[in-house]
Chains A and B, each alone.
Chain A
Amino acid sequence: MTDTRETTQATGQDHGHDHGQDHGPLSYRFLTLIWAGLMVLTAITVAVSKVDLGFMNVAVALGVASIKASLVIFFFMHLKYENWIIKGMVLTAFVILAIAIGLTFVDVGYRY
């Protein structure tokens, strides 16, 4: 079964990936730097877990994890070069996740 109309429609609206190609592939040097950054952040997470900061342990761990996730999503997964609608969708997912984690702490943070 072929559908020429749908094919035209799909390619006609396929702006998202064009953006990625406009910027060309990211250089190995740049990607290696990002990877090194991720390694440093992992080391920070491990190091902080050995110090007792009370409730801040969780905050730091979640903060570092968020930065790491952002680096992966923006550069390895090319979100930085996508159009606003894709960025908006990922942001929505992130906000919902943040709210879910935040509301869980309404319980954990106030338990006897």
Chain B
Amino acid sequence: MDHTHDPQATAFYKPDETGGKSGLASWIFSTDHKRIGLLYLSLILLMFCAATVLGLIIKLKLMTPGSTLLSPQQYNAMFTLHGVIMIFLVVIPSVPASFGNIFLPLHIGANDVSFPRLNNFSWWLYVIGALLALTSIFTGDGAPDTGWTFYVPFSERTTTNVSVAVIAVFILGFSSILTGLNFITTIHRLRAPGMTWKKLPLFAWSLYATGWIQVLATPILGITALLIFAERVLKLGLFNPAQGGDPLLYQHLFWIYSHPAVYIMILPAMGVISEIIPVFSRKPIFGYNMIAFSSLAIAFAGSLVWAHHMFTSGMSDTAVLVFSFLTFVVAIPSAIKVFNWLSTLYKGSISLDPPLLFALGFILMFSIGGLTGLVLGSAGTDIHVHDTYFVVAHFHYVIFGGTGLGMFAAMHYWAPKVFGRMYDHAKAAWSFWLIILGMNVLYFPMFIMGLQGMPRRYYDYLPQYAPLQMVSTWGSWFLAAGLILMFWNLYQGCRYGPPATKNPWGGATLEWTLPSPLQHEAFHHDPVAPEPYDYKGVNPDG
């Protein structure tokens, strides 16, 4: 590598002077994992903003009781779209498709994923799925109004555009499967010499576990989405009791995918946290083996707990007992991770830089979300809070407080490496505190309202819930302010910030040996596999 030139001039996002495609084609038909990662990131953030606006409108409508702002049908469509876009277009691809694509090959010392063209195809499937999902809103007899779970029998009967939406989900599923397949193969085949499984960064371990869930569980979602389509078009009667079908079969099939899917969402974010905590504690990660193992254990045990979404559905009591027990089992590997992160921080030399702030926010929010998950996993208490705001609060703590903050932590950790420029740390810290405040003011009242019996997805509510609904809506405004500040600060930093050094945080994984911003080709020779969490002699530049 020639060190005399400006690395900005030859960054991977600048035209490649050595030939190949140029302009828009050099992006949308790119087989470069870094460009595909950025393509994903930009679309995911666009979708995130769209679905966040829907969420803000929902909260605004709920600020006061009565029929305000939206009609009941519009309200149903709003929360359905908020859920479908957030789950299938934002959270599932969030960390793996963006930062996973960019950094997995670099972490293991490879110049790309195993199947670069398939990677580009995955992105195109994502685009086609997203366009179809948007089409379902504006065509047919109205936007889907089933909620993101598409439960039968309503999803079979509603006249809204469910058929197009489930085909979109089917296609998005294939995008996810192909990404998972690519990552599993990449980790098996393309590790640099000396990069043994025990030298694999924990982010790669988490993507490996995620890849397996994507490959094994997502096809079931694909089939289930097609079955809904078949039910609507061909009237097969698979889920219709009048024709000998079983509506609970749908719930089983849906959750056999969709519960493991929450681990597709959370595991890569946990990988990010496992990377950030030791770097900013200047200590080797505590319990490397157990964190790696717990990723696989979560992937396996998390696949066996799906029917805890169905305790009140009328399934057998035996199944309730078995699935309640299994749900408690999956809490163990999750807790192992949290304890290991805290033990890493213990007596560390902690620098409270923005990536660590977001990582600590993850631990707080994920712990609250995880512990309230046990209330839901316990069959007795679940009967009281099932389908109430308690579930909505639990889910948003885990997925927004967990995966969302994990994603934001990744953005603050890796932005200087990807774009070669540094953002403003003070503004990043302000945005963090606004986001944490907003999230808790928004979602914590939902726990209380849920315990008091406020059902989820209701258009209107009794006056007794009005004060907490009002507080919750205020929270959504703090959250929105924090998000705007964070995105603006990151944009300003990545565009106009001071040049970032090669290793601004003092990380020991391989990407920090590469120039900032990343170049078209990362490794010109086989890198020497480092000890990923040994900080002796590794210091932050400057």
Contacts and interface: CB of A to CB of B under 8 A. Distances in A.
A13 B193 CA distance: 12
Interface in B162-198: 188-190
B112 interface: yes
Interface of A: 1, 3, 5-6, 9-10, 13, 85, 92-93, 96-97, 99-100, 103-104, 106-112
B521 A106 contact: no
A92 B212 CA distance: 10
A103 B307 contact: yes
A54 to B, nearest CB: 16
Contacts of B128: none
B120 to A, nearest CB: 14
B316 A1 contact: no
A6 B185 CA distance: 14
B316 A109 contact: yes
Interface stretch (B317-325, B425-433, B483-491): B317-325
B316 A3 contact: no
B523 interface: yes
Interface string B2-25: 000000000000001010100000
Nearest to A3: B111
Nearest to A93: B216
Given A1-B16, A107-B248, A110-B316, A9 B32 contact: no
B523 A104 contact: no
Nearest to B184: A89
A80 B21 CA distance: 42
Contact of A6 (B112, B303, B318): B112
A112 B252 CA distance: 17
Contact of B256 (A5, A100, A112): A100
B347 interface: no
Contact of A1 (B32, B212, B216, B303): B32
17 contacts: A5-B525, A6-B111, A6-B190, A9-B189, A10-B114, A10-B189, A93-B215, A103-B319, A103-B322, A103-B323, A106-B316, A106-B323, A108-B246, A108-B316, A110-B316, A110-B318, A112-B316
B520 interface: yes
Given A1-B521, A10-B190, A111-B316, 5 more contacts: A1-B32, A103-B304, A104-B252, A106-B318, A108-B246
The 8 lowest CB-CB distance pairs between A and B, nearest first, are: A110-B316, A107-B319, A110-B318, A107-B315, A111-B316, A106-B319, A3-B111, A107-B316
A59 to B, nearest CB: 18
Contacts of B256: 100, 104
Interface in B523-539: 523, 525-526
Given A3-B111, A100-B256, A13 B189 contact: yes
B284 to A, nearest CB: 29
A5 B248 CA distance: 52
A3 B521 contact: yes
A9 B190 contact: yes
Contacts of A97: 216
Nearest to B220: A100
Contacts of B315: 107, 111
B111 A5 contact: yes
Contact of A107 (B110, B111, B307): B307
Interface in B82-138: 110-112, 114
Contacts of A103: 304, 307, 319, 322-323
Interface string B451-471: 000000000000000000000
Nearest to A9: B190
A110 B323 CA distance: 14
A87 B4 CA distance: 50
A111 B112 CA distance: 51
Contacts of B323: 103, 106
A100 B258 CA distance: 13
A1 B520 contact: yes
